[in-house]
Structures are given as C-alpha cells and as structure tokens.
Amino acid sequence: MYFSLDDIDELVISGRSRLDNSGEYDISYYENYVNENSKIILELMKDYYKQLDLIKDIKTKDRILETEKYLLKVYKINKKKEPKKEYEESKYNSPNNGYAGYLGTHKYAAFIEKDLTNLAVESCSNLINFMNRMYEYYKFLEMKGLKDNVTLYQMFSVAKKACSKFGIHSPDPLTIYESFTEDPYDTKQQFLSLEVRVDEENSMKENILFSSIPYTVTLPVFSYQGPSKQEIPVKDRTPQVLYNKSYILNLENSNDGLDHPGSPKVR
C-alpha cells in the first residue's frame, strides 16, 4: 500500500537525541542504551497485545498478528546484547589496535561506533516497518468503514511514540511535501534521496503516492579529535514515490522549456 500527501503529517517523527552529552562514551553508555531499548520495546509489545484483544474482525486480527515478527525481532536483538562481554571478545579489545587520540584514550569508542550502528539500524528499521504496517491497516479499515480502525490508529500512535523514543526522526512535513511535489528529475531541486516511478496510464486517483518517508537516527562517530555525530537511514530501501505521468508532464510544461542536464523526460 502507498500513502498520499495527506498522510505526511501523521508519518513524520520527531525523535529525541540519544547521544552522550558528556562525550565520554564509556561502555555504560551502550549498556544503558540497550537496556532502554528493551524497556521501550516491552512497553510497545504490552500495548500491542492489549489492543490485539480488542480487535473484533478475525481477518483483521490475523493480518495484525503477521506484524508481530517486527516487534519480536527488535526485542530479541536487544535482549541478547551484552556490550561489555562482546567488546572483550571483539577485535577492538587489543593492545595493538593502533588507536591514538580520542580513540586511544576511550577504548570502547570504536566498538560502540560499529556495534551500536548495526543494532540501531536493525532495531529502527523493524520498528518503522511495524509502524507503517499499522498505519496501512488503519487507512484500509477507515476506507472500508470498519470499526476496528480506531484500535488500529491507537496501535499506530503507540508505535510512533516508540519510534520517537528510539531516536528515529524525519525531515519536517514541508520539506517532505516540497520534495515529493517538485519535478523529481530536477537534480537541483532534490532535497531527499528518492526512487521515482511513473504510472504511464495515469491510473492513480492521487497524482502522487509514496511508500514511506525518509527516516534517520543520529548516532555517534569517532575520530582522532573526538566524538561527532552522523545521520544514518533506518530503512534498507530508498522511499519510493509514484507519479501519474500527466503530473510530470504538467511540471515540465510549467518550467522554462529547457531540459535539466542529465534528466530523463517522460514520453
């Protein structure tokens, strides 16, 4: 299922920062990070099963049960994490690792950068998949006029809060809207990385549909000088945006008539 421009506001997330304000990044930072993840996902799962019991339609309940895999994945990968033990067994715990500067004085930094990134991306990707599925099912039930849509919206809302607690965030609604509605082949106007598809038959009721909005998580990165931060995408697939061909042609006609360098034209 694809979303419309009207859904952007609902899907935008303003996640909190989970960086170490002290800049020390001891192993306790990573341990606390993992423990907090476990608490957040347990709260989400508790609400998930509570709301699941309220769903009256059997087919809807079966569909929702298929999304349980996303939550279980997040729970398991965080529950089994033992940062200190894993560090001690890793290549980073070596007196001959050649680290100097900040990386030399903060022995856990290189391990945290690599391992935390892997954990965060996998956890957040599954959470976003879960949240998007909840919103898809809510929209479907709303369109069909089925009463369970209220329960599904509650499940979506709780999932969105959990994503925010994990530190997931997205661009602001206006940036997303402008990125989706501008000429997708004008590289000078592109704000976000998007995969573009065009419906040659103009069969979509909406001129623009999209599979997801771009989500990232802010994670620590380290160098000789010290810690800094980086934005990492939390989904393995670039958001896909679909356009009716007529919409693209209208955009082209409204421009100055000059082709943008390297930009394919829709024929």
DSSP class per residue in 115-161: HHHHHHHHHHHHHHHHHHHHHHHHHHHHHHT-TTHHHHHHHHHHHHH
Q: Is residue 260 part of a domain?
A: no
Cα separation of 261 and 267, whole Å? 17
Quick check: is 13 in a domain?
yes
What pLDDT is attached to residue 190?
Answer: 58
For residue 48, the SS3 value is helix
pTM (2 d.p.): 0.90
In which order are the strands placed within the sheet that holds 3-4? 3-4, 208-210, 240-244, 195-199
Has residue 267 been placed in a domain?
A: no
Total Cβ atoms within 10 A of residue 104:
13
Return d(Cα 138, Cα 63) in angstroms, integer. Answer: 12
Is the residue at 80 inside a domain? Answer: yes
Q: How far apart are CA 22 and CA 160, in angstroms?
A: 28
Residue 153 is assigned to a structural domain of this protein? yes
pLDDT in tens, the chain (267 residues): 799 999 999 999 999 999 999 999 999 999 999 999 999 999 999 999 999 999 999 999 999 999 999 999 999 999 999 999 999 999 999 888 889 999 999 999 999 999 999 999 999 999 999 999 999 999 999 999 988 999 999 999 999 999 999 999 999 999 999 999 988 877 655 567 788 999 999 999 999 999 999 999 999 999 999 999 999 999 767 889 999 999 999 988 876 544 443 333 332
What pLDDT sits at residue 263?
39
Residue 265 inside a domain? The answer is: no
- Tell me whether residue 259 is in a domain: no
φ, ψ at 241 (rounded to 5°)? -120, 130
Nearest to 183 by CA among 76, 82, 257, 131: 257
151 Cβ contact partners less than 8 Å away, ≥ 6 residues apart: 51, 54, 55
Q: What is the span of the domain harbouring residue 25?
A: 3-254
Judge whether 125 lies within some domain.
Answer: yes
Q: How many folded domains does the chain comprise?
A: 1
Q: Which helix (H) or strand (E) holds 252?
A: helix 245-254
What's the pLDDT at 191?
A: 62
pLDDT given for residue 239 in this prediction: 87
Cα distance between residue 248 and residue 183, in whole Å: 7
